[in-house]
């Protein structure tokens, strides 16, 4: 069984809460920019993309890659203080996750890239460190659900008609179910 994006995000938020200089200001999937009144620093954990690959033609074994972004944002009075604060929180986040064997060993591969952004917000500088995580899970097996005989139909017919109307192709499908699904 694999960990889906929600489970991965929730786990990361739980692990980061109270273990970095952001304290309790760690959020799952923040949508908007942080307001000026936010406590600093703050951390947001978001899913960016998931994809999978059939790993074996002989069975239902897949590999799955999830891309997540951890963004820590803070403010400081000077450029040097902002850079130091971003370096500190980057180190804290990576240490919490990568030094934890229980977390790290859930995946067959973990890689990351880090970007920094800075801007002047009123008299303070606001900056972010974005950590893009690529998390790979191998040999995931999905079990097929057993068919529910109480909700089956005796017959399914699909009829497709193609017609040309005013130079356009018109496709009509008729689906007929026979039987009692109760």
Task: Tell me the pLDDT tens digit for each residue of 92-142.
Answer: 999 999 999 999 888 989 999 999 887 765 567 889 999 999 998 887 665
Instruction: Give residue 171's domain range.
Output: 153-178
Other residues' Cβ atoms within 10 Å of the Cβ of residue 77? 10
Residue 132 placed within a domain? yes
> Is 125 found in the same domain as 68?
yes
In whole angstroms, give the CA distance from residue 54 to residue 58. Answer: 10
> Is 157 found in the same domain as 89?
no
> Is 157 found in the same domain as 135?
no
**Closest by Cα among 20, 23, 128 to 76:** 128
> Is 74 found in the same domain as 44?
yes
Check residue 146 and give its pLDDT. Answer: 61
Please compute Rg for the chain using Cα positions: 25
> Is 169 found in the same domain as 112?
no
Check residue 99 and give its pLDDT. Answer: 93
Ranges of the chain whose pLDDT falls below 70: 1-2, 32, 35-38, 54-61, 120-123, 140-165, 167-182
> Is 105 found in the same domain as 55?
yes
Angle, alpha carbons 105-109-112 (nearest 5°): 110
Check residue 161 and give its pLDDT. Answer: 67
16 neighbors 43 (Cβ within 8 angstroms): yes
> Is 136 found in the same domain as 158?
no
**Closest by Cα among 152, 5, 2 to 63:** 2
In whole angstroms, give the CA distance from residue 42 to residue 44. Answer: 7
> Is 99 found in the same domain as 15?
yes
CATH number of the domain residue 30 falls in: 3.30.70.1700
Q: How far is CA 16 from CA 26, 29, 32, 96, in A?
A: 7, 14, 20, 7
Check residue 119 and give its pLDDT. Answer: 77
> Is 162 found in the same domain as 108?
no
Sign of CA dihedral 133, 134, 137, 143: positive
> Is 170 found in the same domain as 80?
no
Residue 147 placed within a domain? no
Residue 129 placed within a domain? yes
63 neighbors 138 (Cβ within 8 angstroms): yes
> Is 46 found in the same domain as 86?
yes
Residue 26 placed within a domain? yes
Residue 148 placed within a domain? no
**Closest by Cα among 18, 121, 13 to 71:** 13
Task: Count up the domains in the chain and report the number.
Answer: 2
> Is 70 found in the same domain as 23?
yes
Residue 47 placed within a domain? yes
93 neighbors 100 (Cβ within 8 angstroms): no
Check residue 53 and give its pLDDT. Answer: 74
Q: What are phi and psi of 67, to 5 degrees?
A: -105, 120
């Amino acid at each position: 069984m694999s960990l889906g994006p929600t489970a991965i995000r929730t786990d990361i938020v739980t692990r980061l809460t109270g273990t970095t200089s952001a304290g309790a200001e760690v959020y799952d999937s923040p949508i908007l920019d942080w307001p000026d009144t936010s406590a600093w620093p703050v951390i947001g954990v978001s899913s960016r993309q998931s994809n999978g690959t059939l790993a074996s033609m002989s069975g239902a074994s897949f590999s799955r890659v999830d891309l997540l972004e951890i963004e820590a944002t803070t403010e400081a009075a000077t450029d040097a203080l902002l850079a130091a604060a971003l370096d500190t929180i980057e180190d804290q986040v990576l240490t919490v996750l990568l030094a934890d064997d229980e977390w790290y060993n859930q995946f067959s591969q973990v890689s990351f890239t880090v970007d920094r952004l800075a801007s002047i917000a009123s008299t303070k500088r606001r900056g972010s460190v974005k950590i893009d995580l690529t998390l790979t899970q191998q040999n995931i097996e999905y079990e097929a659900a057993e068919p529910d005989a109480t909700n089956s139909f005796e017959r399914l017919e699909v009829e497709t008609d193609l017609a040309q109307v005013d130079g356009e192709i018109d496709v009509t499908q008729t689906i007929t179910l026979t039987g009692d699904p109760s």
